[in-house]
Structure 1
Amino acid sequence: MEYLEDIDLVVCSCHPAAIQLVSQGLFPCSPLALTLAVSMDMLEFVSDLFVNMAPNEQAWQQPL
């Protein structure tokens, strides 16, 4: 990992932490007890990567 950042949030019932993170372009990895969020840009990159990568033909072979 090349980039980590701590973000302090002021959370109340009218402004949940998950909503605040999504508005900042981050995807919360837990709905309630948040300890990690991932950039939406990184999620889009990984999604594009897996859609466009060559299939692993070894994974489909049955062991002898």
Structure 2
Amino acid sequence: MTNPAIATQSEQSPIQVARKDLPLSCPRPDAPVWNMHPRVYLPIEDEVDQTCVCPYCGARYQLVD
């Protein structure tokens, strides 16, 4: 059975982050459920398209500047 919270996050538009927000971690400190999984740091600035996906919850992030 798929977790509805994970499915919802992966189907939404990417969460936009700025360079001032780096290093990028998921879950974000301001997330409503900030302790939903272990904190993982995502190397978004190293990605060619400057997007990445959290391996735990499927949240998609995009670097905008």
Give the TM-score normalised by the residue count of structure 1: 0.24
Determine which structure has more spread, i.e. the larger CA radius of gyration: 1
- TM (norm. structure 2) is 0.23
Instruction: Considering fraction of residues, name the structure with more strand.
Output: 2
The answer to which structure, 1 or 2, has the higher relative contact order (CA under 8 A, 6+ apart) is: 2
